[in-house]
Amino acid sequence: MTSPTAFRPEKPQPRLDGPFQPGITDPQWPIEPPAGVDAARYEVERAGRINPQRFLTVVAADVQAPDRGALEQVLRNLTRFARYEMARHPVNNHVPVLEYLPPNYRVTVTVALGASLFATAHGDDRFQLAAFRPHWLKTMPRVTGDAYEPAEHMTDFLFVIASDHPYVNMAIARSLIHGYVDKRLVIRRVEQGFSRPDKRELLRFDDGVDNLSNARELELDRHVYIQAQDEEPAWCRNGTYLAWRKIRENLPVWEAFRPPTPASSEQAEPRHASDQPIEKRPRQPSRKT
């Protein structure tokens, strides 16, 4: 006798025809639970929350365009490319029998405009866009005592490619890297990332990162996206801000100093191996300011 197969709902899909650029607050779980799911758990764990894809590729690039008209051509080429890649479906005529192929890999290609596109670090308004710069868009400030120099890593564009398959990400990134999209894009850096379904990271603990939920009066969209009442140029509405910085985890050093027992390791993190915080509130008033 065989046991019934556990119910597995389809993952939410990116919103390719919505008011916002795909890949920011989507794919997103529906607010209402699907049939066959524990409604109480779904409300806490899924409803209105982002279900991010498994793999991420970030491509930083500058643009070498002589004038504003040429920049417009680059942006049109990027738009066509992103829409095409997000709408594609896997080719299944080569898939062996009994091999599962998803209907799509939930691809999103998100385009971010850097502060240098509106004016360079030397104040050059090369595309006459300085008057249209979003109010808070600027180079990340330097942190005292940090070796990182944000101004040296500033670029005109940041392309955020996400999907559920690393090969898909790399294939899309290569089109940008090798100039197939537009040869006026000069690639500066490519970063690769991944996540596990249980959200554990390389330090072997849950990363603890969470997002707001649209199940509560659409608070995710309200806090993420620029709205009409915000003091921003009109073209920025339904857009948002992105702060990008790579933080390296020096795993050999962490593992050399990592406490030898699970209990002491939990105190160092400080989280239980079950991913629950060690303490939900301090035992005594903090003396830190």
Residue 193 forms part of a structural domain: yes
Residue 112 forms part of a structural domain: yes
What span, in angstroms and rounded, lies between the C-alpha atoms of 25 and 214? Answer: 10
- Chunked into runs of 10 residues, the chain (289 residues) has average pLDDT values of 54 93 95 91 92 96 97 98 94 83 93 96 93 94 87 94 96 97 97 83 71 89 94 95 87 75 57 58 44
pLDDT at 1: 44
Residue 24 forms part of a structural domain: no
CA distances from 23 to 143, 153, 264 (A): 29, 23, 39
Same domain? 167 vs 261: no
pLDDT at 286: 41
pLDDT at 256: 79
Q: Which of 45, 90, 60 has its CA nearest to residue 213?
A: 45
Same domain? 208 vs 274: no
- Domain extent for 258: 251-279
Q: How many domains does the chain have?
A: 2
What span, in angstroms and rounded, lies between the C-alpha atoms of 86 and 106? Answer: 7
Same domain? 114 vs 236: yes
Cβ atoms < 10 Å from Cβ of 69: 9
Q: Which of 75, 90, 73, 79 has its CA nearest to residue 16?
A: 79
Same domain? 64 vs 181: yes
Same domain? 217 vs 228: yes
Contact 157, 244 (CB under 8 A): no
What span, in angstroms and rounded, lies between the C-alpha atoms of 208 and 271? Answer: 9
CATH of the domain at 68: 3.30.70.1030
Question: Which residue type does 198 have?
Answer: D
Residue 237 forms part of a structural domain: yes
Q: Which of 143, 169, 162, 168 has its CA nearest to residue 50?
A: 162
Distance of CA 168 to the CA centre of its chain: 16
Residue 16 forms part of a structural domain: no
Q: Which of 214, 222, 224, 238 has its CA nearest to residue 29?
A: 214
Same domain? 154 vs 92: yes
Same domain? 117 vs 216: yes
pLDDT at 81: 98
Q: What is the pTM of this model?
A: 0.84
What span, in angstroms and rounded, lies between the C-alpha atoms of 284 and 207? Answer: 26
What span, in angstroms and rounded, lies between the C-alpha atoms of 198 and 60? Answer: 29
pLDDT at 248: 81
Same domain? 237 vs 272: no
Question: Which residue type does 186 have?
Answer: V
Same domain? 152 vs 130: yes
- Torsional class of 191: left (φ above 0), alpha (ψ -120 to 50), beta (otherwise): beta
What backbone torsions phi and psi does residue 162 show, to the nearest 5 degrees? -135, 145
pLDDT at 5: 46
pLDDT at 211: 78
Helix, coil or strand: residue 287: coil
Same domain? 227 vs 271: no
What span, in angstroms and rounded, lies between the C-alpha atoms of 149 and 141? Answer: 9
